Amino acid sequence: SKIIGWRLNKKKPFFVDLSSTMDPLSLFKSASYLNLRLMKWRMAPQLDVDKLHLQRALLIGCGTLGCNVARDLLGWGVRKFTLIDYGKVSFSNPPRQPLFTFEDCLNGGKPKSEAAAEELRRICPDVEVNYDGFEIPMPGHHCSEECFEKVKESVEKLDNMMQNHDVTFLLTDTRESRWLPTVIGAARGKLCISIALGFDTFSVVRSGSKNCGCYFCNDVVAPVDSMTDRTLDMQCTVTRPGMAPLASSIGVELWASIMQHPDGKDAKGDTDSILGAIPHQIRGFVNNWSFIPIVGERFKSCVGCSEKIVEAYLKDGAKFVMRAMNESNYLEDLSGITEMKAEMANVDCEWVDE
């Protein structure tokens, strides 16, 4: 029975279950949410802690960004994860990627998604984490017709994963690897948060709603293959060591603020939640210590979230993705960027020297 204090036992023995006060796992579960309970009690009484705890997070990319995002989500009470990464842990990873150790690098390196999942379970025994190492189809990465079934399987798997999760974090190191998840997020109305790094800059962009643009809305060129024939120094994201933890924490804090807004992912960028502002984008510049929140509308010719792109994906699925992979101008032609460029070329401009 429960612990209820003194009571008359009528000369009959009764039992009290004290396991929850002595079992390490039970104690851990209780203590791990202490900070969130204190936040609700002392700082933000309206904070919906349960809503955060029940969120299911899909992380695409388990590198420097993925490791830091996962750790920050643990702090907000998230315990359900799926990790996607087809890479393996290398000797350069552990100093910058906090879910990996030296042992993970041996014998050719463990798959990153698997090693990260194991470490999350070690840190939080109550975490539920799945992992996968499949490669996401990317525009510009040519693929023969013989590979269509494999591409179709990958597209359908990613689509199902995103629909079965509440938020998808895009944490890869190339533009083209973020394209398909962005398209699926727009098509399915699923929240996506894309975090990208420069040497001393970063961007955090939320999408998945018709109220805001996506990671590709500022571009007038479609993503292409940026990985083939790159040298070692070009394969690695060259960035200041503190940029990834900083950008990751801002991305997760933005997600937490969105979750506390009554409109969720559809919240407008000029409104606030109980945790503060929820802009569409955040640009950071560490060289002058400035952070710029941005409210950005959807670009009507965006290659990631425009209506024509979304309609083509919903209609043709993997066939649409295959065309994006193999036809260099397909996305720009379909979205309307080619037409826009042609119109701009015909505009007469007068230059004035001052």
Residues recognised as catalytic:
236
CB contact at 8 A, 94 and 106: no
Q: How far apart are CA 31 and CA 36, in angstroms?
A: 10
Pairing of strands 128-132, 167-170: unpaired
**CA neighbor of 197 nearest in space, from 241, 242, 247:** 247
CA distances (Å), origin 115, targets 92, 112, 233, 287: 15, 5, 25, 34
